[in-house]
Structure 1
Amino acid sequence: MTTIPSEAALCVYCGASPGNVPEFQAAAISLGQALARSNRPLVYGGSSKGLMGLVSSSCLKAGGEVTGIIPYAMATSGEGTGEDYEQRGRNKTIIVENMHERKMKMAMLSGGFIALPGGYGTLEEIFEVTTWSQLGIHCKPVILLNVNNYYDPLRKLVESAVASGFIRPSYAKLLTFVDAPADREQPIDWGQAALEAFDGWYSPIYQGLFQWSKL
């Protein structure tokens, strides 16, 4: 059984926009605070805007350690700047050449991935690291926080791909969905729920499709 050390850094994927319901922002803040409380470093895309800015600033304010990874083109346009990003010590920004290097670096530094709601970039990142587990490039959890049922359509898409013979049933389990209680009046701490899903994760497959080695 494959598990991930509890002290491993966690990579958070999420939007550079805040979304249009307060539950999205509250979940980002909750996740940042939970990472700090558990002494798990945060690795993320380096933006100071939207949900990315909220999860990173809340982690920093709670005493957490943050590493932002951002391409040069974005850094020079003003991304990754602001009040919270002037803090020293537990906040680090790594500037890379392009988006491909950014995603590779984020994956290399992290023991797992947690996704809040986001747009095209977030969805692409989710599927890429999930594909890497399927292929055997790495074996790490990919946890989706289904805030306000945001990821219900994605879950249905995966189920459709399984039913249509494009994804093996065991590989569908490479994505872990964290849902709110059925009783909408019952509160949920999204940060704590994410960490519980991470701690309870084990690989649903014994090995990926290929054995990767250097030539």
Structure 2
Amino acid sequence: MTTSQQDKPAVVCVFCGSVGGNDPAHLESARALARAFHENNVQLVYGGGTAGMMGELARTLVKLSGPQAAHGVIPRALVKVEEGYKDSQELDPAAATESAQREQAGGKAPERVLPDPMDKTTLFKESEYGVTTIVPDMHTRKRLMATKVLEGGPGSGFVALAGGFGTMEEVMEMTTWNQLGIHGVGVVLVNIKGFYDGLLAWVKNAVKEGYISPANAEILVEAKDISKVLTKLRDYKVSNGRMQLNWGQE
């Protein structure tokens, strides 16, 4: 982390379901995490969904902290199936940048958005879900979310609430990136009511069978309560079993 990042707010990417699930405890965990972000000036990056866990998390945080606190990143193909975006106005990033500059200079701007440096992206105006960046594909989405986290201040990292295949794939990829030395921030599983007991048991078995080192088993951190999540991210220590590879700008 650079010296300039020390004064920046933490940026936490949250992976979670696009549906609410059958147990209301999981939706409540999304609301509780949003409240914790608000109280600790943490900025959210998430998958841009407007329903389920994702929508609940983003809406709750925006109500508390304003739209600049939440940044959704969603592939264009998924925008078409998100009810929350059906009436949204799509903006060209260059025009959005000019609009923001006019507002900063004292001129009236029709809307305020966060321009993004990634190629082939467009934006939605601010909404109850925060600022949304539309990207061309899933790979760009994950790379942009990770980039936002790694640009954040102390305590930045990745968190998984309850979810399905997509949530599992995303959190395990960030765990793998940590093992490979691509990043060194925390990856926290929020294990509400034993939701991730099976995954944690698999990690222990993989260590026993020799596929994961005991040191690297600690890359994936468990939090059984929302109140522990930000502390675990702030206190995270990188594994001494990680690969020491030079990834350059990848």
The answer, yes or no, to whether TM exceeds 0.5 is yes
The answer as to whether partners of 1:46 and 1:80 remain within 8 angstroms in 2 is no
Establish whether residue 20 from structure 1 lines up as the match of residue 22 from structure 2: yes
- 2: CA distance, partners of 1:115 / 1:56: 14
- 2: CA distance, partners of 1:127 / 1:79: 28
| Structure of larger gyration radius | 2
The answer as to whether partners of 1:13 and 1:116 remain within 8 angstroms in 2 is yes
The answer as to whether partners of 1:16 and 1:118 remain within 8 angstroms in 2 is yes
The 3 A distance-change label for structure 1 pair 48 and 169 is same
The 3 A distance-change label for structure 1 pair 55 and 88 is closer
The answer as to whether partners of 2:215 and 2:241 remain within 8 angstroms in 1 is no
Please name the residue that 1:213 is paired with: 248
Please name the residue that 1:72 is paired with: 76
The CA deviation string for residues 148-184 of structure 1, in whole angstroms up to 9 with x for no partner, is 110110000011111111111110000000125xxxx
Q: Which has the higher contact order (CA 8 A, sep 6+)?
A: 1
Which stretch shifts more, 73-82 or 104-113? 73-82
Please name the residue that 1:38 is paired with: 40
Runs of 4+ with >2 A deviation: 76-83, 85-91, 204-211
Number of residue equivalences: 202
Please name the residue that 1:100 is paired with: 139
Please name the residue that 2:159 is paired with: 114
Please name the residue that 1:186 is paired with: none
CA-atom RMSD in angstroms: 2.5
Instruction: Identify unmatched segments of 5+ residues in structure 1.
Output: 181-189
Amino acid in the other structure paired with 2:208: A
Aligned residues with identical type, % of pairs:
36
CA-CA distance at 1:76 after TM superposition: 2.7
* TM-score, length-scaled by structure 2: 0.74
* TM-score, length-scaled by structure 1: 0.86
